[in-house]
Amino acid sequence: NQQELSLSCVVDNNKEHHTDEVSQERLVVRRGQNFKMTLTLMQSFNPELQQLVLTAKTGDQHASEDRGTLSRFGYPDSIRRSSSAKAMWKVEPLTGFSLPSNTVALSVTPPADAPVGEYELFGKLQEEEKSLGKLVVLFNPWCSEDSVYLFDDRTRQEYVLNEHGIIFRGSANYIFPGEWDYGQFEENMVDICLKILDRNHKHDEDPADDVASRSDPIYVSRVISAMVNSEDDSGVLEGRWESPYTGGRRPTHWSGSYPILKQWYQSGCKPVKYGQCWVFAGVMCSVMRLLGIPCRVVSNFDSAHDVDMNLIIDTYIDYYGVNEDYTEDSIWNFHVWTEGWMKRPDLGSDGEYDGWQVVDPTPQELSDGVFCCGPASVKGILNGQTGFKYDAPFIFAEVNADCVYYMITESGEMLKVDSDTKRVGKYISTKAVGSREREDITNTYKHAEGMSHSVVHAVPRWKPLSIHISVQAMNYNGRPTGKILAEDKEETLLPGKGDSSSGEMLAFRSKHLRVWPKLSACLDSVNLHHFPVSSSSVCPHPGPVLDLP
């Protein structure tokens, strides 16, 4: 008996739900907030004699009340539901204005814990059930009952609705801003982001459980972290940290997320080539904001990569430089990740660890068998809670790891020659709310540094500077400063071109840049040569000079 579902309120609904920039043509609502609809019937409707039953479902044939992916609700509401039913929708009549007797105006509210995604809405009057249309349900940072609720309107404007951002790159001595267009409201972004959720390996393994779990921003952000990279799925971006960039574009080409996401979507979900940390993070931020999870991009300078997760960056030095056979630990000149805003009931009922959570889509280490990272509570990192989910020890080390240096003697003995507790995790930065300025948020990750400590034995004090250049390629707006080498350049380092006041020279390898006293190196087309030098020594191999200020 249903003749027509009128979505004449789409524009008004979307505006009230802060989704009018997402679409003007389809209904996109946020959970925990009502939307309005009118239903035109073939005959008059009397709620005292008749019942209109509505059904909302997501996940196709896998939908069920027990999982919260199907909800039956009615006007008047006398629906018998399963005792274990979750995420129940509700409907109420809209009153206060005149309508024909065969038209019903309704207020429908998805619960604040509904799984996000595309839903189909069905209506049933007497025996006939009919599809009334489709709608998309997103997270709702404007709803106090939603686990992504953000209490301040200025921060919601910045971290959910703002399409234009700044990502900070460079080095601790030279931080520069780079424009990034998140483009979360561009054409088809809803479909692109929902496709990302549907393509994740957990959906392939158990579609019903995956769709039901989309009620939880912890789960959703973890899925996005895995899907933005292409290491173990048909993810969005393929990473590459050295030339050649054959078959794609170098990471410095990109200045926004939408061209990357659009290419992935239109190519049948083939990974886009190529990305590095700031590109991965920018793309993830776009997807998070579209889905309604407040998100920001964060840059960490002198960022540790603690492979063995012992919270120490171990460096082993022999006469000719760092011996990499002993460890894969390293320090990156900068690394970029995202933070998502959400509650963490899994970390305690008092809410102490709610708020910003680190979620890193750059493929670094496996987490539960997948290349993803987080979410890890920023407050937990500050408090040293390395036992927390997810990947807290790895992220804690990125900003707090101690650097310990060992010298390997000619006899093979290892001597601890130095340690540095202040080297890692500097100038942790994000774009300030409502401005283009850099906001330093280091104090949200780590307490003020204490007194430095070092252990110096009766051997020369070596000063390795292990910067993971091949992983964090640089793009400078101007002349680089500090001991940093730009991407894709082979340099010959001549004696006397280092810091003359300290007598230090540079030793260059294809993947690392280090500082040694009285030690220099040059790189010809085939071999890497290390040799002790004096200030008057001359390198026999011609080539460009890295002239540091």
Same domain, 344 and 221: yes
- pLDDT value at position 124? 86
pLDDT score at 241: 87
**Same-domain check for residues 20 and 133:** yes
**391 shares a domain with 254:** yes
- 128 and 157 share a domain? no
The SS3 assignment for 8 reads coil
Mean pLDDT of 111-125: 95
Give a yes or no: residue 121 inside a domain: yes
Instruction: Note whether 403 and 519 are same-domain residues.
Output: no
Whole-angstrom Cα distance, residue 382 to residue 395?
A: 11
Are both 164 and 213 inside the same structural domain?
A: yes
> 90-93 and 103-109 as β-strands: parallel, antiparallel, unpaired?
antiparallel
pLDDT tens-digit map of 340-362: 999 999 999 999 999 999 999 99
- Which DSSP helix (H) or strand (E) runs through 210? helix 207-213
465 falls within a domain: no
H, E, C per residue of 115-170: CCEEEEEEEEECCEEEEEEEEEEECCCCCCCCCCCCCCHHHHHHHHHCCEEEEEEE
- pLDDT of the residue at 32: 98
239 and 368, same domain (yes or no): yes
What are the tens digits of pLDDT across the range 70-107? 999 998 877 777 778 899 999 999 888 788 888 888 99
Model confidence at 416: pLDDT above 60: yes
Query: At residue 55, what are phi and psi to the nearest 5 degrees?
Result: -135, 125
> What pLDDT score does 365 carry?
74
Residue 256 lies in a domain: yes
The mean per-residue pLDDT over the stretch 466-482 comes to 31
More confident residue, 522 or 206: 206
Domain end, chosen from 110, 138, 166, is at: 138
Which candidate, 158, 215, 222, 218, places its Cα nearest to that of 196?
A: 222
pLDDT at residue 268 in the model: 96
Catalytic residue among 216, 329, 360, 402: 360
Higher-confidence position of 147 and 78: 147
Query: Residue 537: how many CB atoms within 10 A of its CB?
Result: 14
In a domain, 545, yes or no: no
Q: Is-contact 305 400, C-beta < 8 A?
A: no
Q: What percent of the chain has pLDDT over 70?
A: 76
Residue 456 counted as domain residue: no
Please report the pLDDT score of residue 64 as a whole number.
Answer: 92
- φ, ψ (nearest 5 deg) of residue 376: -125, 130
Confidence band of 493 (pLDDT split at 50, 70, 90): very low
Least confident range of 182-191, 372-381, 464-473: 464-473
Q: Lowest-confidence range among 109-118, 208-217, 444-453?
A: 444-453
Average pLDDT, the chain: 80
More confident residue, 377 or 394: 377
- Quick one: pLDDT at residue 307? 64
Q: Exactly one of 17, 203, 305, 335 is catalytic; which is it? A: 335
Number of neighbours of residue 295 by Cβ within 10 angstroms: 30
- Give yes or no: residues 296 and 406 share one domain: yes
Look-up of token digits 């063995």: 308
Annotated catalytic, 360? yes
Whether 299 is in a domain gets the answer: yes
- Report the distance separating Cα 445 and Cα 428, nearest Å: 8
Residue 325's pLDDT is 62
pLDDT digits (tens, 9 = 90+) for 368-391: 777 889 899 999 999 999 889 999
pLDDT at 498: 39
CATH of the domain at 17: 2.60.40.10
What are φ and ψ of residue 95, in 5° steps?
-125, 175
Q: Answer whether residue 363 shows pLDDT above 60.
A: yes
Which pLDDT does position 148 carry in this prediction? Answer: 99
Using the predicted structure, report yes or no on whether residue 211 has a pLDDT greater than 80.
Answer: yes
Tell me, yes or no, whether 132 and 165 share the same domain. Answer: no
CA 358 vs CA 65, 134, 163, 398, 543: distances in Å:
32, 33, 20, 11, 43
What is the DSSP secondary-structure string of 238-302? EE--SS--TTS--GGG--BSHHHHHHHHHTTSPPEEEE-HHHHHHHHHHHHHHHT--EEEEEEEE
Which region, left, alpha or beta, applies to residue 276 given φ > 0 means left and ψ of -120 to 50 means alpha? beta
Q: Note down the domain range covering 518.
A: 471-532
* Residue 114 neighbours by CB distance under 10 Å: 29
Residue 485 pLDDT grade (very low, low, confident, very high; cuts 50, 70, 90): very low
Q: Catalytic: 253?
A: no
Q: Does 357 lie in the same domain as 247?
A: yes
Residues 133 and 169 in one domain: no
Confirm if 306 and 329 have CB atoms less than 8 A apart: yes
Number of domains in the chain: 3
pLDDT digit string, tens, across residues 271-281: 999 999 999 99
Amino acid letter, residue 43 = Q
Tens of pLDDT, residues 293-340? 999 999 999 888 756 656 677 777 776 666 666 666 667 889 999 999
Q: Active-site residue among 193, 269, 277, 285?
A: 277
Read off the pLDDT of residues 31-46 as tens digits, 9 standing for 90 and up. Answer: 999 999 988 887 888 8
Mapping DSSP to helix (H, G, I), strand (E, B) and coil, where does residue 198 land? Answer: helix
Q: What's the CATH number where 267 sits?
A: 3.90.260.10
pLDDT at residue 5, as a whole number: 47
Average pLDDT of the residues in 518-532: 36
Residue 458 in this model has a pLDDT that exceeds 60: no
The answer on 167 and 132 residing in a single domain is no
Instruction: Tell whether 132 is covered by a domain.
Output: yes
Domain assignment of residue 145, yes or no? no
| Of the candidate ranges 77-91, 299-313, 465-479, 487-501, the one whose mean pLDDT is the lowest | 465-479
Chain segment 231-244, per-residue pLDDT in tens:
877 899 999 988 99
Among this protein's residues, is 335 annotated catalytic? Answer: yes
Is the confidence at residue 55, as pLDDT, over 80? yes
